[in-house]
A and B are shown apart, each in its own frame.
Chain A
């Protein structure tokens, strides 16, 4: 064999070795240097951190626009972005409208929604709420804090004679999706009258813009009750209530509670599942996944490779950034199923990740 052929052989061997090495680390192997994504605001702080670390690890710039779950779904359907992100599951009509075919919902992290309140004399975790009481408060059937039904779970707590001021989100949001999904599960009246979505027809009262708007309204209005991501409740030091989960335990909202909610036996393979009111005894009942939305059948080999690798990296190396930012990392069965979904990404019917 000529020297040239030997050198060529070495070069090919070296390249393929480095390619598999790079592949194992989750970096795109086909030269893609930029990706665009759009969607949910809830995971934005985490994705922001993840993508900046990804840039350091793989020299790939991922540009993420947090325009909301609805916007992410729309952009993905129009194929103007490489991936979408949503706190809510796409419904049948949205799936049918997606121009690129089947959409995979790959869960990334889970989060907890805290029920916050403003009651003079009652501190954080001192208020206990059962699911039916929470639903009836939001349905405007319980209108005063000294109602017998609230007192029933709160013996020893002095509940004032104060009108309940119900605060919700005025903008559509994944937080609302998780919250209303929970209420629809625990109250058939809620499910029938209001339903669950990123934006619903609330029976009352005040709408705040964004998590910060709700947090602010609850802090200012005496007698208010609202729902925010647990990170907001923590950072703004707003008192939260303990929620009763499916096994009748009262729990504070926490990352462990959210992770436990996801750690259940019969998760579906497509991971399009809501984990509210989870049967796990340590589960916090108002928890939910946030998903990365990608097309199963990618048309561009380089892009498909880049997207699959990004998702893989986010599921493994990226998870370590979750807890410091108050998100619950995926654990156990959930990770396995998410990996299986990521492996389903194909280019021209060839799987991208082996």
Chain B
């Protein structure tokens, strides 16, 4: 870009003509900084494109063999060399959304409590353990879940089936312990710290005058939070939830250990099922022929595609919610 163009990006207003500045004013340091940061940005974009390109290249053999049937079929047979991924897509999405259902009320509730009810000096003491939980490696969660959580879920499932077995969601193999419900619960536990931490930061940016104004008008504390703070912060809170959803969809190790890992289509909350990430992680090392490897990469491509679609939907919703002003984090 020429110096005139650089100048015009820093100038406000809608001047159609480029204003000609004395270029000796802009020194070498500024230009160097500009070029270096430009290069970094381009590297990031390039990495993203390379990732997509390599995914397509690896999946090409499977795409040519199966085409879009891959997305709607229900057979995964390495012996007969027939692959399709609908049950795992459903498994991934169901587990992620149930995890959100469980996690969001707890996270946003905790964030509200920390931001509005907790005395200021106590905040770090509560926030720190939450952030610590966010840093626990996924495999540790998986091990804990397998040995501690699954037996508890198993007892819960047996109780649910005995008392509410007529309901289709509870009409499944309760005694396995591993399955959709276990997978969703461990995912919920893993995404609560992220959503809580980000939501807390968002809620702390709600301007005090807004809330105080509401209180001055006679609202209770609860009303001022529910009717002013949360709506004000809804864009940011939505962004936090999407962050959590992103982690839930891509989570691998913990889900592999307690998800049940079956290819059959699920019919109840207790059925075992693979998620796309757990399937790739489980089978990649022993994929003994190229179509097998290619099909697994195709699954990865589908996972990537779903993540992008959700991200785009989220961006659109955020744009709509904020009526055209894009800022997610002010």
Q: Which residues of A contact B (CB under 8 A)?
A: 67-71, 73-74, 88, 93-94, 97, 163, 165, 170-173, 194-202, 204-209, 213, 216-217, 220-223
Contact = CB atoms under 8 A, between A and B. Distances in A.
Given A68-B286, A197-B78, A207-B282, A170 B261 contact: yes
A182 to B, nearest CB: 15
Contact of B286 (A97, A199, A201, A221): A199
B289 A94 contact: yes
Closest 7 CB pairs of A and B: A172-B286, A207-B261, A170-B261, A68-B285, A195-B79, A70-B286, A201-B77
B287 interface: yes
Nearest to B272: A206
Contacts of B76: 201
A206 B261 contact: yes
Contacts of B288: 69-70, 73-74, 88, 94, 172, 197-198
Nearest to B77: A201
Contacts of A93: 289
Nearest to A208: B261
A165 B150 CA distance: 16
Contacts of A202: 262-263
A199 B293 CA distance: 13
A171 B288 CA distance: 12
B175 A223 contact: yes
Given A69-B288, A170-B256, A207-B260, A220 B150 contact: yes
Contact of B79 (A70, A163, A194, A223): A194
Contacts of A221: 154, 175-177
Contacts of B261: 170, 206-209
Given A67-B285, A172-B286, A213-B257, A206 B176 contact: yes
Contacts of B177: 220-221
Contacts of B178: 206, 217
Contact of A173 (B80, B146, B286): B286
Interface of B: 75-80, 146-147, 150-151, 154, 173, 175-178, 256-257, 260-264, 272, 274, 278, 282-283, 285-290, 292
Given A170-B261, A172-B288, A201 B175 contact: no
Contacts of B80: 195, 201
Given A163-B173, A220-B151, A206 B79 contact: no
B283 A205 contact: no
Contacts of B264: 204
A213 B147 CA distance: 11
A220 B147 CA distance: 9
A195 B177 CA distance: 28
A165 B285 CA distance: 26
A128 B283 CA distance: 32
Contacts, number: 107
B274 to A, nearest CB: 7
Contact of A204 (B77, B175, B262): B262
Given A201-B79, A221-B176, A206 B262 contact: yes
A126 to B, nearest CB: 22
A199 B78 contact: yes
Contacts of A217: 176, 178
22 contacts: A69-B286, A163-B173, A165-B173, A172-B78, A172-B282, A172-B288, A173-B286, A197-B79, A197-B288, A199-B283, A201-B78, A201-B80, A202-B263, A205-B173, A205-B176, A207-B272, A207-B274, A208-B261, A213-B257, A216-B146, A217-B176, A220-B150
B289 to A, nearest CB: 6
A258 to B, nearest CB: 22
Given A200-B78, A201-B80, A170 B274 contact: yes
Main secondary structure of the interface of A (DSSP, over half): loop
A220 B149 CA distance: 12
Contacts of A204: 262, 264
A71 B263 CA distance: 23
Contacts of B290: 97
A125 B263 CA distance: 32
A74 B278 CA distance: 22
Contacts of A201: 75-80, 263
Given A165-B175, A205-B262, A221-B175, A196 B289 contact: no
A148 B17 CA distance: 92
Contacts of B274: 170, 207
B154 A220 contact: yes
Nearest to B142: A209
B181 to A, nearest CB: 14
A73 B285 CA distance: 10
Most chain B CB inside 10 Å of its own CB: which residue of A67, A173, A194, A205: A205
A43 B287 CA distance: 19
Contact of B285 (A172, A197, A200, A205): A172
A205 B172 CA distance: 12
B266 to A, nearest CB: 12
B260 A206 contact: yes
A69 B292 CA distance: 14
Contact of B287 (A165, A172, A207, A213): A172
A163 B285 CA distance: 33
Given A205-B262, A206-B176, A208-B261, A70 B77 contact: no
B139 to A, nearest CB: 11
A213 B78 CA distance: 21
Contacts of A94: 288-289
B113 to A, nearest CB: 36
Contacts of A173: 286
Contacts of A195: 79-80
Given A197-B78, A201-B263, A171 B286 contact: yes
A272 to B, nearest CB: 15
B97 to A, nearest CB: 22
Contact of B256 (A71, A163, A209): A209
A200 B79 CA distance: 6
A239 to B, nearest CB: 18
A219 to B, nearest CB: 10
Nearest to B279: A170
B323 to A, nearest CB: 47
A38 B76 CA distance: 27
